[in-house]
Amino acid sequence: MKRNFLYAIILGLLMVCLLILPVKMGEEGANRHIPILGYVEDISHSYYNETLLKLSATWASVKFASKMVAVFQRGEISFTPFGMGVTIAPGELLAAVSDNLERVSSLLFSLILVVLGERLAVSVMTFLTFKVFLPFSLLLIILSLLFNTFRIVTQKWGFLILKTTLLLYCILPASAFLSAFVQSHYLDETYQKEMDFVHSKQEQLESLEIVSYSQKISEQDEVLSQQKTSTDSSWVEQTLREGKKIAESTLEGMKKTIKQVSDMHFEEMRKQLLEEFNNALSFLDAMVDRFMSIITIFLLTNIAIPLVLFVVMMRMVNYFWQKI
């Protein structure tokens, strides 16, 4: 009985120390003045901030690619060489790429929410651990030492809350430290290469001249129309001077010549447009592949490693708890 009373006093002093500990729940660095807790929070926040920046940069690149696809899908290049309407619509070619980009964007947004939640949980869990759960678990253990009436219940729940609280408090900083180590030593180079590739494809997409081609077509059609108009006026003058028969033969020959030039001009521009669309499609496909590789890195460091570490730590805690 005296030993239980002594343990109760020690645990009571520890509970009081936890309650007066100046732990705050708020902005980053709020607990920096507390030696160990501040260091743990700084490591966690540093990793999560860096991860959020990388995820945001990747998500912005995905949205850029999605915007380019949307422009291509909505856009139609129409021109009328000598009255013949021609329309090129590349949207159907990019439907699969658009769906893949939407999935990638949704997955990245979900990862951003997960990392934001983990970052917020670091500060919240620090406050709840040292101000709520640990004092409450110690109170239950003290009650189990002083009173035999509810000893089994209070002792069971006290140790359960204590064990669970310590596990949850340690899992986020431990996973942040391990993920940061794996990322800096093994994955950063791969991530940088993939993002450099994505940025290069962005620049190539921006340099495509699909729109300028349609402008060139319109300008050249106007020039040819002006030539035709001037030709028509010269035909009238020639008709007045030389007669109807000579004018008709001359006009027929000029129509054949203009038609040949028009066909060659249209075929050349059509090939250029299709080549540009094929280039855009290949660039976007390559970007989707790189986005999937980047997502794999984030899934490993922010989902797989924390889950595996949680299972390992839970088994270790249960094992040593049974030994005690």
* pLDDT at site 87: 54
Average pLDDT over residues 276-286: 77
Alpha carbons within 13 angstroms on the beta-carbon side of residue 59 total 16
**Whether the predicted pLDDT of 309 surpasses 60:** yes
> How far is residue 196's CA from residue 294's CA, in Å, rounded to a whole number?
12
Rama region for 80: left / alpha / beta (φ>0; ψ in -120 to 50; rest) = beta
- Confidence bin at 13 (pLDDT 50/70/90): very high
pLDDT of residue 271: 67
Residue 288, CA distances (Å) to 59, 154, 295, 296 in order? 12, 55, 10, 12
Indicate the range of 53-67, 146-160, 245-259, 289-303 predicted with least confidence: 245-259
Give the three-class secondary structure for 74.
helix
Q: What's the CA gap between 143 and 8, in Å, rounded? A: 8
Interatomic CA distance for residues 312 and 302, integer angstroms: 16
CA distance 5 to 143: 10
pLDDT of residue 212: 47
Handedness of CA 241, 246, 250, 251 (dihedral sign): positive
What tokens does 298 get? 């984030």
Q: What is the signed CA dihedral for 191, 194, 200, 203, rounded to 10 degrees?
A: -80
3-state secondary structure of 26: coil
In the numeric block, the tokens 């030709």 are attached to 231
pLDDT given at position 239: 43
Residue labelled with tokens 């980047």: 294
Entry field: residues in the chain: 324
Contact 309, 171 (CB under 8 A): yes
Give CA–CA dist 123/120, Å, rounded. Answer: 6
The DSSP bridge partners found for residue 88 are: 77
